[in-house]
């Protein structure tokens, strides 16, 4: 049976490729389950420092699988809730996981596929890539992703995207802080690989993990609670092996090898 998610580990980078090109990498319960397993394995693998998420073929992901959408009509509330929680678990693995995740978007990223690209730590796309939270077009709600997007995208633009279900360009996505850069299709593979390698070589893995945890835990908190959390995280970071190594290297004027 063909894997729904392909995995390649090289130079401490784990590349996970959605592998349903004939279906434009549409999300199905089986694909989501397989992707969760492989992301979790990469997070636990000490030989991996960065994850790259991409789609095989001409699309990153066109959203939910048509058969899956058809099946939803007969699901009970409990079944739909369990299904939603499965997607939430996938998003949380990426958003709260200890290692940076880079989305490399070529082609379309729509509905759930757009959500998947949105919550990665870094997102790069080609000039012809298209994005869209198209759920309202067919009676769905972009519920989970809306939580992650608040505070990331300007509120007026976020309301426009989520309520209209409009499809928009990579240039507009970058202008409104949804993605980091628009990269020519002929260069995007090399660009993302170099970006990932630079993250590995230039930054402490422990520090990145703690910073991701800090951002996840303080977003939306009241100021005093957020500052208390930040102070505790700062104290925790100072006792980490990476911090001690960094201080020693700095004081000795040695180049840090992460």
Give the catalytic positions in this structure.
135
> Closest Cα to residue 125, out of 136, 133, 114, 134?
114
What residues have CB less than 8 Å from 29, skipping those under 6 apart? 68, 83, 86
> Closest Cα to residue 117, out of 179, 177, 68?
179
Looking up tokens 């082609």 gives 107
Quote the CA–CA distance of 61 and 87 in Å, as a whole number.
14
Burial group, residue 253, by CB count within 10 angstroms (0-12, 13-18, 19+): exposed
Quote the CA–CA distance of 26 and 86 in Å, as a whole number.
16
Q: What is the dihedral of CA 86, 154, 108, 84, to 10 degrees?
A: 10
Q: Are strands 50-55 and 101-105 parallel, antiparallel or unpaired?
A: parallel
DSSP at 18: E
């Amino acid at each position: 049976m063909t894997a729904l998610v392909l995995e390649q580990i090289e130079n401490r980078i784990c590349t996970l490729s959605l592998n349903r090109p004939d279906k434009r990498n549409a999300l199905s319960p089986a694909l989501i389950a397989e992707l969760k397993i492989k992301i979790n394995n990469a997070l636990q693998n000490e030989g991996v420092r960065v994850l790259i998420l991409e789609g095989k073929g001409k699309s990153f992901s066109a959203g939910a699988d048509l058969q899956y959408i058809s099946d939803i009509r007969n699901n009970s509330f409990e079944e739909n809730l369990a299904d939603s929680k499965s997607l939430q678990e996938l998003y949380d693995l990426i958003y709260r996981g200890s290692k940076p995740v880079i989305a490399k978007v070529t082609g379309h990223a729509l509905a759930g596929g757009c959500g998947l690209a949105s919550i990665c730590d870094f997102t790069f796309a080609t000039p012809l890539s298209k994005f869209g939270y198209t759920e309202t077009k067919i009676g769905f709600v972009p519920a989970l992703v809306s939580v992650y997007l608040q505070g990331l995208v300007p509120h007026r633009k976020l309301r426009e995207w989520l309520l209209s279900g409009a499809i928009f360009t990579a240039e507009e996505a970058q202008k409104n802080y949804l993605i980091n850069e628009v990269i020519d299709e002929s260069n995007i593979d090399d660009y993302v690989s170099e970006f990932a390698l630079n993250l590995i070589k230039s930054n402490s893995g422990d520090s990145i993990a703690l910073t991701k945890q800090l951002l996840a835990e303080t977003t939306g908190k009241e100021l005093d609670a957020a500052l208390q959390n930040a102070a505790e995280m700062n104290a925790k970071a100072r006792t980490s092996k990476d911090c001690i190594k960094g201080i020693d290297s700095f004081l000795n004027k040695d180049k840090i090898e992460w």
